Amino acid sequence: MALTKKPVTGMKDIQPAEMQIREYVMNQIRETYKSFGFSQIETPCVEHIANLTSKQGGDNEKLIFKILKRGEKLNLDAVNEENDLVDSGLRYDLTLPLSRYYANNAANLPKPFKALQMGSVWRADRPQKGRFRQFVQCDIDILGDATSLAEIELILATTTALGRICPDNAFTVRINDRGILKGMALHCGFPEESMDQVFIILDKMDKIGFEGVERELLESGYAETSVSQYMELLRGVGKDADGVRRLGGQLADVLPAQVSENLAHIMDTVNEVAEADFGLEFDPTLVRGMSYYTGTIFEISMEGFGGSVAGGGRYDKMIGKFTGMETPACGFSIGFERIVTILLDNGFTVPGEGEKVAYLFEKNVDSSTLAGVIREAMEARKNGVQVLVAQMNKNKKFQKEQLEKEGYTQFKEFFREGLKG
């Protein structure tokens, strides 16, 4: 019986050329993050369904690939709802499993714990170009550090990694703080209970612009004076650390001075010591959707590429949900698939790849000659050369063209009467 040849809907087979780039990017990320003292861990791809549906994951919880119970636990006669059928699912991010991992292992881990995770996650999103239902995330998280050193090290580590991987692409780190976000709205007279709605509208800034945000706020019934004061405040903010300090002064009625000073200090320090060359901007319109963020939030955008290539922030309340003991936490996630797409689009070739040589031998060569060919290949391989040993095809020209596509730059030919080429 002939079977289905295509991958399942929304997922893809990865070809050798892309695989090389993926492995290269992973190694660069891993090596950079290790130099910053992050320790790599891994959790299972499968998580408890109760954990996955615990309201930490926002909309992602609607996109879970759920796994059927097995054996006696599956009783088809007593099914009332979907959740009677499943006991687990594929993880939709690496943050929830990290929280579970930390809750389970904290006693044996250094404090603070600096975690690196690289792994696939799954979301049953509507299939669309360039977005897949299985994709890799690369996260670093610092657990147990309430100071701004966590933010500084996360931003330094991620910008160093991106600077090494994409040295030709300019990028900008935009940074904000949930406290400032809220302070600006409160200062302008938006009521406390309207915060979520205001931020959902503000978050559309990059799509609908200032005018669009202003219009939607007015249409939602907020006071004209609040809206106009808010727009003026947003437009007038300085994007550097001094701008943040000045804004802190303006918000003194609603915001403790330490919040703006903390953010300004992060920006000062990162600017002073960063290895990579990038822009660092305070962005008062940066919201980041996930409800679990509690403080600093940040995002990186890359020139010529719509959308962000990395994002993260502080989430001091999440780990406590598992452990019952509050643990400050801060994380940064690189959009691995986006970086790979940018490199593929740039025609990037992986540096430092060994020489690739094809040894082609004539059909029906005697076995001692073939043994000699393989022996020679083994010697070259020891010296770091990638050697393919293959029988010469009838259409040798076509065969060589195909091998050239695979990166083979040199050919050596072996014939029945001995070595020629």
43 binds a second copy (CB under 8 A): yes
Query: Across-strand partners of 299?
Result: 174, 311
350 binds a second copy (CB under 8 A): no
Amino acid, single-letter form, for residue 177: D
In whole angstroms, the minimum distance from the beta carbon of 182 to a second copy comes to 25
Please, are residues 336 and 25 in contact by the beta-carbon 8 Å criterion?
yes
Instruction: Name the 3-class secondary structure at 240.
Output: coil
Q: Is 288 annotated as a binding residue?
A: yes
Query: Across-strand partners of 384?
Result: none
The contact pattern for a second copy, residues 382-421, with x = CB under 8 A and - = no contact, is: x-xxxxxxxx-x--------xx--x---------------
Q: Is 102 annotated as a binding residue?
A: no
In angstroms, rounded to a whole number, what is the distance separating the alpha carbons of residues 419 and 19?
Answer: 35
- Note the Cα 70 to chain centre separation in Å: 33
Position among 51, 197, 228, 229 found at the interface with a second copy (CB under 8 A): 51
Q: Is 137 annotated as a binding residue?
A: yes
* Burial of 317: CB neighbours in 10 Å, binned 0-12, 13-18, 19+: middle
Please, are residues 73 and 93 in contact by the beta-carbon 8 Å criterion?
no
Residue list 185-214, contact with a second copy (CB under 8 A): none
Residue list 159-188, contact with a second copy (CB under 8 A): 160
The contact pattern for a second copy, residues 320-339, with x = CB under 8 A and - = no contact, is: -xxxx---------------
* Burial of 300: CB neighbours in 10 Å, binned 0-12, 13-18, 19+: buried
| Residue 66 φ then ψ, to 5° | -95, 145
For 360, other C-beta atoms within 10 Å of its C-beta total: 22
In whole angstroms, the minimum distance from the beta carbon of 8 to a second copy comes to 5
Residue (of 241, 311, 309) closest to 271 by Cα position: 241
Residue 24 or 230: which CB sits closer to a second copy? 24
Q: Residue 128 corresponds to which tokens in the numbers above?
A: 């669309």
Query: Across-strand partners of 326?
Result: none
Residue 155 or 198: which CB sits closer to a second copy? 155
What's the full length of the chain, in residues? 421
DSSP state of 301: E
Cα separations (Å) of 241 from 206, 255, 379?
22, 17, 59
Residue 50 or 200: which CB sits closer to a second copy? 50
Residue 310 or 358: which CB sits closer to a second copy? 358
73 binds a second copy (CB under 8 A): no
Residue list 84-143, contact with a second copy (CB under 8 A): 85-88, 90, 100-101, 103-105, 110-112, 114, 120, 122, 124, 133-134
* Burial of 265: CB neighbours in 10 Å, binned 0-12, 13-18, 19+: middle
Q: Which region among 181-189, 222-230, 344-352, 376-384 touches a second copy (by CB under 8 A)?
A: 376-384
Please, are residues 334 and 162 in contact by the beta-carbon 8 Å criterion?
yes
Taking the CA of residue 5 as centre, how many other CA atoms within 13 Å lie in the half-sphere pointing to its CB? Answer: 1
Q: Is 292 annotated as a binding residue?
A: yes
Please, are residues 328 and 144 in contact by the beta-carbon 8 Å criterion?
yes
Q: Is 315 annotated as a binding residue?
A: no
Amino acid, single-letter form, for residue 119: G
In whole angstroms, the minimum distance from the beta carbon of 238 to a second copy comes to 20
In angstroms, rounded to a whole number, what is the distance separating the alpha carbons of residues 413 and 194?
Answer: 75
In whole angstroms, the minimum distance from the beta carbon of 200 to a second copy comes to 25
Residue 19 or 257: which CB sits closer to a second copy? 19
Residue list 222-281, contact with a second copy (CB under 8 A): 265, 268-269, 272-275
Residue 70 or 207: which CB sits closer to a second copy? 70
Q: Residue 413 corresponds to which tokens in the numbers above?
A: 């030919």
In whole angstroms, the minimum distance from the beta carbon of 54 to a second copy comes to 6
Residue 254 or 374: which CB sits closer to a second copy? 374
In whole angstroms, the minimum distance from the beta carbon of 306 to a second copy comes to 26
Tell me, by CB under 8 A, how many residues bind a second copy.
106
Residue list 2-31, contact with a second copy (CB under 8 A): 2-8, 11-16, 19-20, 22-23, 30
Binding residues for L-histidine, as ranges, are 93-95, 123, 137, 141, 288, 292-293
